[in-house]
Structure 1
């Protein structure tokens, strides 16, 4: 394992500190939610007691009918102008105050609202009126609205009719009905029909209230048809008016803590009271914060997001709805209205003095809990995580710097040697005063010593050849003189063996001199462009003509294999490889010279049948004084394959030897680049 990975593992173990802190914060968040849930249950019991003590006139005591005309509560009076842009249900996105969609078969939309004294209706008809009211002919069918009100226990029917768009006042039913100025409003024409905004006295809670839109229709008896609305049903029953009870909301509101919300629902889910105390907004002015504080705020927001993720999934509820499905509200747990923050919820049934119980839903926002658990220990965790992260980065940077220095030392050492283990350059000396600098200087000193020793070994052959030539000549001349001066010993086997030994020694010295001269001759060789296929083919043909005892042939293209180098040196390389192959190939067996295209290289191969190479010597046979011959032969001490390596290195190529199985034998691979090489000097 690398040093960088070891330090990375050590640094990652340090992340257990903020992880343990996060686990503690998660446990704290759960404990705070449990405590808040217990407090919310006690708060629910207190508010339930207040609801039980409400006067009977303030709560609908009877079960509600299926048809309800629900009116939202207003915080301020509406301005009657026939438009809905000041209604609380107005939406800028839809440019409408109507929350329910209308199909082609339902051309009437409506919206209701109440304040302390009045009931407001906003009615849109998506169909032209056909005919307005004509005061000169009041009996003629005309477009109008019929209101059904229950005021002070009495049923009233009022008509809204007008000769033209503008302000309107309700009339008693009939052609000569009197005006009821308590019901008034504005009639406005629209692109699809018309819209009427009305104001009237607020009926009692749960009182029968309704309206209908009447249009002229010659096909109906009486000349009218009901276009739509909330009027009488088939049983001659009107819908009942339900709206939030402002008195109940006013009594519950002071008891709600910050972030709490109380919903009082009728038995079928209609909202009777909706009170809430929002949490004071604490906006962060990033312009007044420093860089560290901005980072801390971002991290705290991220921690709060983590806490939300580990909280139970909340039950989705509609946002600011006028009716809730009671079976969708859990008795305890978490809920979320639209995109708002999650909230704890407690639902209980309150049995009042009447026959119909109401449902109290208490909610507590989790913002305070998130702020407490997220900020209190969150700042400690964020800061510790920041410093641990900073320490991790510092250690990783330091490890990367050490790794880079070690890798540079490794590259410098590797660059000092070529593929055959020969020293090619000195190592640069390091000026660092630490252990790695001292190690680099020791390596540089070692490479310098190896370079000197290598230079000595490379010059040893030349000096040894030079020094031994004279003694060998003296010994040979002495043997010649002895042979002539003493005829009796001329036929002695000792004299014969001495001659053989001197001849062999002379050939060895000649081979050593040949390798040395070859290295020196590289400086005088001028590279040229030649056809490697032509050189290999002609040389192979010459080898076959000189050695009829083996089958020597060439396999490859006949021409077109151009490369840059010395064709004479390539012939000398082939001479040594084929000569080596003849020594190990039984008579009558094949020796093949092959040439293949290998992209940016030409692969020149020499194959010979015969015994395999020992695996441990496959990479050493190209060194001097290494021979695999079973018996010593004259002049063979491994100099031939050393010359092959030198010529290959001059052409910036590579040479390898390997055993092959089918057919069994040995293959020498010489990879020669196509491009013009940069030769060693």
Structure 2
């Protein structure tokens, strides 16, 4: 009897293995989503470039908008941006209420803006957040108005008997002369909360001289103090800077911290005075609600205007579709606690909590800007360092008299598109899991059913013949109409015929014995009769041999 080696891979395994090739279908779906994302990215790229082109067209042939003295706000830089104020501001009301909506343009300075001076040459306070201030500058009727809302954990005023002006908390004003060859410094160091008395000082803070043209008020707040002042515009040169000096020890009175609008105590590093460009503001405002961050730069790359912020400029707006079908709380739990953490091991969840350092200064740079300033529009994608955030940037030149005057920059982050892709991927993965579970369970049940029927047929076949070779059982024919049912009925028919043949062979000996007994008896009787007659000796021998043969039969 031949024995076949047992195959370790049964029908169930083979069916499941073959069904795994169904994964090519979700792979095709994944590739389709990636291609759709690329298609939408190209569409978003054309939209952003079209916005930049529309703004540049509105600014073309307007060279007066790009005068060197006309600039608009940036968030953080050494340059100081002056906004137009359309009504006089009170300097003696003890509050900032009259600044009203202008306060939305204030700029904050903190430990990132520390300044090392001769009064604190070795002091390092990068992690010192005890001193910071918000500042805002405005221009009205030929005067520069400014306020400094200072947060100081301990305010130390000038001693009543002190002749020096640098051994207490004070505000320093540094400005470049109109001739551009000398820096003039003014110090505001009051004895108490009172109207300010500015003093012009030398570089080493000696020889203080009262400056009557600068007026204002110093008053206390719950978090420190506020300084409001007014300076005639005619006093100002091209550069200006403010610095807040902090002293915490009323006995020692050494400078502890300095936070300034400029980084280095040098004439070249003082901020330029940037006056607003209301015409550009109005033109850009007409392009509002486009979900982009818009900037206008001059031919030197300096930012003239910024509208919008890159964190909210997602480009694509996704509105959730209300299906009207309540979501099962158990499915929601599985989705949030099990599936989403698993999916986002592969996917990247976009975040709006990012900082683009490239936009933190007053000037802009980049291949797309250089191309636009050379007269060629360009778009580019850029990935922020240490993040997965991608930015789409477009630049279009602004022309006047066939000369490039500047460029319009329109930027969007790709978080909207990334969110769209993630949602599509989640739906695809959910569908894949549901379909694969149904298919695998169905195939497993189907294979188990087939395997069970085949094992039953095998067990019946093994129990047909006993150890002596006799047929003792039969195969029960199946009532199923499939191939295994046909095979069972065929085996049942074969076993039935084999049983009949075996019975025939088993009964053949008795039938042969019966068939042989009668002729043997006749022959025997005939031989016996021959023996009774006279015979010669030779015939007796033949008769004896015939009797022996009959006996053997």
What TM-score does the superposition give when structure 1 sets the normalisation length?
A: 0.46
Flag the 1:21–1:357 CA change in 2: closer, same or farther, 3 A: closer
Tell me the SS of whatever aligns to 1:259: coil
- What CA deviation, in whole Å up to 9, does each residue of 1:288-333 have, x standing for no partner? 56779x99xx9xxxxxx9xx99xxxxxx944863446513656423
2:379 maps to which of 328, 333, 345: 333
Deviation at 1:161, TM superposition (A): 3.6
Residue 184, structure 1, aligned to residue 203, structure 2: no
Aligned residue in 2 for 1:36: 47
Change (3 A) 1:69 1:368: closer
Counterparts in 2 of 1:116 and 1:474: CA distance versus 1, 3 Å: farther
**Residues 285 and 242 from structure 1, CA distance in 2 versus in 1: closer, same or farther, beyond 3 angstroms?**
farther
Q: Which moved more, 1:235-244 or 1:469-478?
A: 469-478
| Contact residue 52 and residue 350 of structure 1 kept, 8 A | no
Aligned-partner SS, 1:272: strand
Report Cα offsets for 1:430-465 as digits up to 9, x if no partner.
3x6xx52xx565445434433433444555565445
Count of residue correspondences? 445
Contact 2:16 2:440 in 1 (8 A): no
Conserved 8 A contact 2:474-2:496: no
Confirm whether residue 143 of structure 1 aligns to residue 168 of structure 2.
Answer: yes
Question: What SS class does the counterpart of residue 160 from structure 2 fall into?
Answer: coil
SS in 2 for 1:32: helix
Deviation at 1:255, TM superposition (A): 3.7
CA shift for structure 1 position 361: 1.8
Deviation at 1:143, TM superposition (A): 1.6
Deviation at 1:171, TM superposition (A): 2.2
Displacement of 1:252 after TM fit?
A: 2.2
Q: Quick one: distance in 2 between partners of 1:396 and 1:13? A: 15
Q: What are the equivalent positions in structure 2 for 1:293-372 lying under 5 Å apart?
A: 317-318=356-357, 321-323=360-362, 325-327=364-366, 331=371, 332-335=378-381, 344-348=392-396, 358-363=406-411
Question: 1:614-647 CA deviation, whole Å, 9 max, x = no partner?
Answer: xxxxxxxxxxxxxxxxxxxxxxxxxxxxxxxxxx
Q: CA deviation at 1:74?
A: 12
Q: Could you give the per-residue CA deviations for residues 333-368 of structure 1, whole angstroms, max 9, x where no partner exists?
A: 334686898554333565889x99655423367789
1:368-392 deviation line (CA, Å, top 9, x unaligned): 9999x99xxx99x999999999999
Instruction: State which structure, 1 or 2, has the greater radius of gyration over its C-alpha atoms.
Output: 1
Q: What is the rounded CA distance, in whole Å, between the counterparts of 2:163 and 2:96 in structure 1? A: 26
Kindly tell me: are residues 478 and 333 of structure 1, through their superposed partners in 2, closer, same or farther at Cα, counting changes over 3 Å? farther
Over 3 Å counting, the alpha-carbon distance change for 1:495 and 1:261 in structure 2 is: same
Alignment counterpart, residue 45 of structure 1, candidates 30, 50, 56: 56
Deviations 1:623-674 (A, max 9, x none): xxxxxxxxxxxxxxxxxxxxxxxxxxxxxxxxxxxxxxxxxxxxxxxxxxxx
Aligned CA distance change for structure 1 residues 262 and 334 (closer, same or farther; 3 Å): same
Q: Is the 8 A contact 1:40 1:364 kept in 2?
A: no
Deviation, 1:274, is 0.5
Q: CA deviation at 1:417?
A: 0.7
Residue 249 of structure 1 is aligned with which of 281, 287, 293? 281
Instruction: Give yes or no for the alignment of 1:228 onto 2:238.
Output: no
**What does residue range 117-136 of structure 1 map to in structure 2 within 5 Å?**
117=139, 118-121=145-148, 132-136=157-161
SS for the counterpart of 1:119 is: strand
The CA deviation at 1:49 is 2.0
Instruction: Output one character per residue of 1:15-40: Cα deviation in whole Å (capped at 9) or x when no partner.
Output: 89979976985685476356436624
Per-residue CA deviations over 1:248-284 (Å, capped at 9, x if unaligned) read 3334221456134321346776543102496796643
Match of 2:457 in 1: 413
Specify the alignment match of 1:106 in structure 2. 125
- Gaps (5+ residues) in structure 2? 1-10, 115-121, 140-144, 200-207, 336-343, 349-354, 372-377, 466-470, 532-538
What is the Cα-based RMSD across aligned positions, in Å? Answer: 6.8
Partner SS, residue 36 of structure 1: helix
Contact 2:71-2:304 within 8 A present in 1 as well:
no
Please state whether the residue corresponding to 2:54 is helix, strand or coil.
helix
Distance (Å, rounded) in 2 between the aligned partners of 1:115 and 1:423 = 110
1:195-274 to structure 2, matched below 5 A, reads 196-201=225-230, 206-211=238-243, 213=245, 215=247, 228-230=258-260, 239-241=270-272, 245=276, 247=278, 248-255=280-287, 258-265=290-297, 271-274=303-306
Output the TM-score relative to the length of structure 2: 0.54
Q: Is the 8 A contact 1:73 1:113 kept in 2?
A: no
Q: In the alignment, which residue of structure 2 is the partner of 1:159?
A: 188
1:488 aligned residue: 541
Separation in structure 1 between the aligned mates of residue 472 and residue 317 of structure 2, nearest angstrom? 75
User: 1:239 deviation in Å?
Assistant: 1.0
Change (3 A) 1:414 1:112: same
Is the contact made by 1:70 and 1:112 (CA closer than 8 Å) also made in structure 2?
Answer: no
Measured in 2, the distance between the counterparts of 1:24 and 1:140 equals: 68
